[in-house]
Amino acid sequence: MTRKLEGKVALVSGSGRGIGREIALKLASEGAKVVINDLDAAPAEQTVADIKAQGGQAVACIGSVTDADFADRFVKTALDSFGGLDIIVNNAGYTWDNVVQKMSDEQWEAMLAVHLTAPFRILRAASGFIREAAKKEAEAGLDVFRKVVNISSTSGVYGNAGQANYAAAKAGINGLTKAMAKEWGRYKVNVNSVAFGLIMTRLTQPLTAGDASVDIQGRTIAVGVQPDRLKAAEATIPLGRGGTPEEAAGAVYMFCIPESNYVSGQVLVCGGGRP
């Protein structure tokens, strides 16, 4: 059976762990060469090793997507390592919740930086290659489509109390998606976003004892959900449970394959039917 992404080159930000890792593994299993990114070297290198162990190709680009030089470095890694760029998945991110009266400027700006400004910079950094590649392909009579999948959230579609910063950033990425679909349609680039609902990762793990946290560039950010709140959330999902990272990756994959060549500017909610 022919793999649907054979020979394609993909960037997946935040792909050392969780949903991003599963996206990278899925794309690689279908033949894509993948640039893996994480804040920390160990999980990124582990994902690279796992892809190679399965016969795939991958390299790591370590660092924060919010660094001023990251976008150019990310794109350059793909071009230098694999000679092209066909798929961009803007996945990296985290949550830093609070009600509005207690939310600091730092919390607000951090969410906009990682969920909206960083994807914008990555797309801007890729624009030169995409324009030139599309021009050459058109002159040669080649019909080549490229894919951008931006990761949003149901918080950005419907809103969520305690997440004014995150919801605003994720709503913004949906706006960026729709704008870029119009700008890049002439280059045969499909630009879509996937809005995840409750997906079971370390950020949504049940809190059973004490507080869980992650370190984001020197910031200690609390993560996890109280078990009673998690149970209540799952009760509102028609499918009766939170999704798995593998299922989340499947939704992204659908926007990366040739079957989606005439789908662009869309926001797909991956939430088990929960509105």
Q: Which residues have CB under 8 Å from 74's CB, separation 6+?
A: 11, 13, 35, 37, 61, 65, 122, 125
Catalytic residue among 166, 187, 253, 262: 166
Q: How confident is the model at residue 207 (pLDDT cuts 50, 70, 90)?
A: low
Nearest-angstrom CA–CA distance, 1 and 25: 18
In the predicted model, what is the mean pLDDT of residues 89-100? 96
pLDDT over threshold 80, residue 122: yes
Q: How confident is the model at residue 215 (pLDDT cuts 50, 70, 90)?
A: confident
- 0.85 cut: is pTM over it? yes
Nearest-angstrom CA–CA distance, 247 and 49: 22
Q: How confident is the model at residue 228 (pLDDT cuts 50, 70, 90)?
A: confident
Residue 257 backbone dihedrals phi, psi, to 5 degrees: -95, 165
Give the residue carrying structure tokens 């869309």.
266
Taking alpha carbons only, the member of 197, 196, 109, 183 closest to residue 148 is 183
| Residue 166 annotated among the catalytic residues of the structure | yes
What confidence score (pLDDT) does residue 1 get? Answer: 61
Which domains can be identified in the chain, with CATH numbers? Answer: 9-199+244-263 (3.40.50.720)
